Amino acid sequence: MNAPTYNFAYLNEQTKRMIRRAILKAVAVPGYQVPFASREMPMPYGWGTGGVQVTAAILTPDDTLKVIDQGADDTTNAVSIRKFFVKTSGVATTEKTEDATIIQTRHRIPETPLTEDQILVFQVPIPEPLRFLEPRETETRVMHALEEYGVMQVKLYEDIAQYGQIATTYAYPAKVADRYVFDPSPIPKFDNPKLNDCPALQLFGAGREKRIYAVPPYTKVVSLDFEDHPFEIQTWDRPCAICGSRKSFLDEILTDDAGGQMFVCSDTDFCARQQNQSA
């Protein structure tokens, strides 16, 4: 139900229009971080205020929304954001990836392949991939403008020098459409290949940093690497302890305080579906 005192999806129409303009620009220039006038949201920074604003701007009454946090539909962040949109817009929600038209996500891309009819909205804490190497915003903007991305390689070099391999496992930098290097938000690098040539529109919102960027459908996304240390995704030496899948991203779960652990799918919807199939 619409809460009577709020506009549809919380934000007023002017704000949504401003955000949609930023989104259009972001889609037109893939990977480029478009500044936007991020609003105060009724939740703290770090809870996905950027993603929530993007979702609010693109949401229509006919949409079906799915919200995930670390792949799961039932964790705090996902539950609160889903409830927020149910309360302020009254749209239908689902946990099934293929039934959703908009999926807002924190830290994962669903295992089920996305389609052209879907939009994936990422919550981004730090949109600037160069930030840890170059603290000055003026300088990072010039570096993006002039395609000076050598320093990104310095970070990967440093990984190999210190750990013998590229030790960056999440927020793994990638180049979009042969132009902009971008931070795909803290998704595991396991998910980086899914960014490439994806049929769905992928939108990224950073609320505190006031940036929106996008990967349009079927866009080339290449993870950075070295010729002699190519990009690799994580692998596990065992299947999911619940559904037995060998092709999904696994979370380690501690089961007691005596060193007991199990590895299970982080995508709860995918895991439940696999169980049904094998049952």
| Binding piece for other proteins, criterion CB under 8 A, among 37-45, 66-74, 198-206, 220-228 | 220-228
- For the bound state, the minimum distance from the C-beta of residue 192 to other proteins, rounded and expressed in Å, comes to 18
- Output phi, psi for 136, to 5 deg: -85, 125
Please tell me which residue in 51, 198, 205, 265 is annotated as part of the active site: 265
Using CB under 8 A as the binding rule, whether residue 222 contacts other proteins is answered as: no
Tokens of 107: 């830290």
Choice between 28 and 154, CB closer to other proteins:
154
Does residue 153 bind other proteins (CB under 8 A)? Answer: yes
Closest CA to 59 of 6, 106, 124, 109: 6
Q: How far is the CB of 33 from other proteins (least distance, A)?
A: 19
Cβ proximity of 30 and 68 under 8 Å = no
CA torsion 95→190→185→16, rounded to 10°? -40
Spatial distance between the Cα atoms of 231 and 193, rounded to a whole number of angstroms: 10
* Residue 221 β-bridge partners: 176
Catalytic residue among 31, 51, 205, 207: 31
Q: Choose the binding region for other proteins from 44-52, 85-93, 115-123, 156-164 (rule: CB under 8 A).
A: 156-164
- 158 binding other proteins? (CB under 8 A): yes
Q: Whole-angstrom Cα distance, residue 191 to residue 169?
A: 10
- One of 178, 226, 254, 261 touching other proteins (CB under 8 A): 226
Torsion 84-89-93-99 (CA) sign = negative
Among 1, 40, 150, 260, binds other proteins (CB under 8 A): 150
| Stretch (H or E) spanning 86 | helix 76-89
Which is closer to other proteins, CB of 40 or CB of 227?
227
Place of tokens 């866009």: 219
Question: Is residue 218 within the footprint of other proteins (CB under 8 A)?
Answer: no
**Residues taking part in catalysis:** 31, 240, 243, 265, 271
- Site residues for other proteins per CB under 8 A: 133, 142, 146, 148, 150-151, 153-155, 157-158, 160-162, 225-229
